[in-house]
Structure 1
Amino acid sequence: MIILFFISLITFVNSLSLKQVLLAIDCGGQESFNSKEGYLYQDDQYFSGDSRVSDYTYNDVVYAGIAYTFTPRVYFTERHGNSFDYSIPIIKDGQYTIILQFVELYFENEGDRQFDVFIGTNRILHNFSIIDNKHQKGYAKEVFIYIEIKDDKVFYNDQECSKGFVNGKLKIGFRKGAADLPKVDGIVIVKGHNAGEEEKNYLIDNWEQMLEENRKKEAELQRAELEAQNMIVPDQVEQDEGEGLFSFLLSPIGIGIIVFGMSVFGLLIFTGENEEQKNKNKKKNKSK
């Protein structure tokens, strides 16, 4: 826990308050898990349409490491297809940030995959390519979309997104564009418009330096924890039940109790034998 806390401080991944994150979805994922920031990624849900799941756990790029993120697990799986939606429940009016998380693990070049992203019927991203001048294959990419929900309507850039908020659910759509199929790896819904986009850009611009700092700090904290463990005094180490009893019996008090018990046991046997002898003598006297 200590290590994860300091990693978050170094890499700026803790820029999101845990109270701000309303929902995080690991698209294509089958199990929930905690991010480095400490908020919960839920298993894949709220989706509909023509789509399927891919798992890249054993992909060579994944094995080498996803760049631009310290929570790579969300990028191990994806949902992709011809046309699919996520209908995400949001209870209260207010300002929100949608963070769409992507990584390209199949294509090599910019434009090999291009797709559109909608809120309701309004197109927010057109012929969007995950790979660009800053993001190669295996580089995590986040897109921040700032919206406002008011009176059962959703607004983007002060324009209403028709059918974007229906029955208390925000509708995010993924549609085919100029090349191949749309996909998404994660969706995070954040309360407010201070969702850490500047920190994310700083992380990208200084990735190698921050990655090295992260490795050094993690190694230092691991070494500190090992040193702390080696400083434990042996008699403070908790013994198991058997070892504790054995040590007690060998102590002066334990030996005293054993001796006393044996003495009492011997006295009882001696008393019993005397009583038995007296009874025998009485029987003999009566027979005479």
Structure 2
Amino acid sequence: MSRNMNIVLICVELICLVKLSYAYEVIYAVNSGGGAFTDSHGTFYDADPLEGKTGTASDFGKQLSIGRVPEEDELLYQTERYHVDSFHYDIPIPSDGEYTLVLKFSEVYFNSVDKKVFDVVLNSAHTIVKKLDIFKQVGKGVAHDEVIYFTVLRGMLRYERGESRVRNGQARLEFVKMNGFDNPKVNAIILFKGHNRKDLDQIPRIQSIEEYYDQGVKDKMDAYEPDEDTIRNIRDEVQQEAPKIRKTSGPKQQNPYALDDSSTMLPIFIAIGAFVPLLFCLCKM
């Protein structure tokens, strides 16, 4: 009997070890443009390491309520870091294995497509997100996550069919400025390490965009049962509807892009400055 019991215990231990080997571990988490933060899943995000170094931190998004996420997690999508040029984070790659990179975004300023469009490049070699237009993906004030899977084997990072070498235990995550479009940005970054790419239930995911809009439709239907045309109209209305402005305490948030217009005004200021002395000389004559 004891022998059978030992066999059972060994089997249980093996099952536990297998389950542990498939668990995901948070390697790196950053609240871009904001301070340290713990989300509703208990994941701790460090304060932005680029503060005071590169780009601009903004909490302009606090004026909006963010769709697709619980209220306690909205802050991750309300703060952001953007830059007038390309910028990057160096993310740790401690060892070989499978990795899942989640990039968190929300459009909190623009109200139309083709305004803010940019690429995201990993390890200076792999374009992991191409021509991202957040508004085109989900609209304004709605969370959008880009989920990227890659592996590292014998120091080589492999993404799709390409590979690049991991140097000094780090990979560069770059948000690339595209000509003719507004500044690249990111709201939060989290990197998981695990061993079972198929079992993704352990990684917290935001509500699907279909469920989000379906919920909006359901809320508008109230207690009656409209016909198919009405349902279609309600769905279109929900998808086009801008998020409600949230009333917040304290001073109004500064427009994060207001300072970007200074470069266009500079030639005007120079011209005025040059014209005033000239006008004075002409009057003297």
Normalization by structure 2: what TM-score?
0.59
Matches within 5 A, 1:47-196: 50-56=54-60, 58-59=62-63, 62=64, 65-70=65-70, 71-81=73-83, 82-122=85-125, 123-132=127-136, 134-161=137-164, 165-178=166-179, 179-192=181-194, 193=197, 194-195=199-200
- In structure 2, distance between residues paired with 1:111 and 1:187: 24
- The 1:191/1:46 distance shift into structure 2, 3 A limit, reads farther
Which amino acid is 1:156 matched to? Answer: Y
C-alpha deviation, 1:207, in angstroms: 2.1
**Which residue of 2 is the match for residue 36 of structure 1?**
40
Matches within 5 A, 1:201-220: 203-207=208-212
Contact 2:119/2:131, CA 8 A, preserved across alignment: yes
C-alpha deviation, 1:138, in angstroms: 0.4
Between Structure 1 and Structure 2, which shows a larger proportion of helix residues? Answer: 1
- In structure 2, distance between residues paired with 1:21 and 1:160: 23
Contact 1:46/1:87, CA 8 A, preserved across alignment: no
Which amino acid is 1:24 matched to? Answer: A
- The 1:147/1:95 distance shift into structure 2, 3 A limit, reads same
C-alpha deviation, 1:39, in angstroms: 1.2
- In structure 1, distance between residues paired with 2:161 and 2:202: 20
C-alpha deviation, 1:92, in angstroms: 1.5
- In structure 2, distance between residues paired with 1:51 and 1:28: 9
- In structure 1, distance between residues paired with 2:202 and 2:121: 20
Contact 2:31/2:46, CA 8 A, preserved across alignment: yes
- The 1:48/1:147 distance shift into structure 2, 3 A limit, reads farther
**Runs of 5+ unmatched residues, structure 2:** 1-21, 219-285
- In structure 2, distance between residues paired with 1:149 and 1:67: 34
- In structure 1, distance between residues paired with 2:130 and 2:217: 36
- In structure 2, distance between residues paired with 1:169 and 1:189: 12
Which amino acid is 1:169 matched to? Answer: Q
- The 1:34/1:118 distance shift into structure 2, 3 A limit, reads same
**Which residue of 2 is the match for residue 286 of structure 1?**
none
Of all paired residues, the percent bearing the same amino acid is 29
Secondary structure of 1:68 counterpart: coil
Secondary structure of 1:190 counterpart: strand
RMSD of equivalent CA atoms: 3.0
**Which residue of 1 is the match for residue 25 of structure 2?**
20
- In structure 1, distance between residues paired with 2:48 and 2:89: 10
1:55-79, CA deviations, whole angstroms, 9 ceiling, x for partnerless residues?
22642xx2xx100112111112111
C-alpha deviation, 1:50, in angstroms: 4.4
- The 1:18/1:184 distance shift into structure 2, 3 A limit, reads farther
Secondary structure of 1:53 counterpart: strand
What is the count of residue pairs matched by the alignment? 189
- In structure 1, distance between residues paired with 2:112 and 2:203: 26
1:188-220, CA deviations, whole angstroms, 9 ceiling, x for partnerless residues?
10123344599847632212666899xxxxxxx
- In structure 2, distance between residues paired with 1:99 and 1:55: 20
C-alpha deviation, 1:46, in angstroms: 6.2
Normalization by structure 1: what TM-score?
0.58
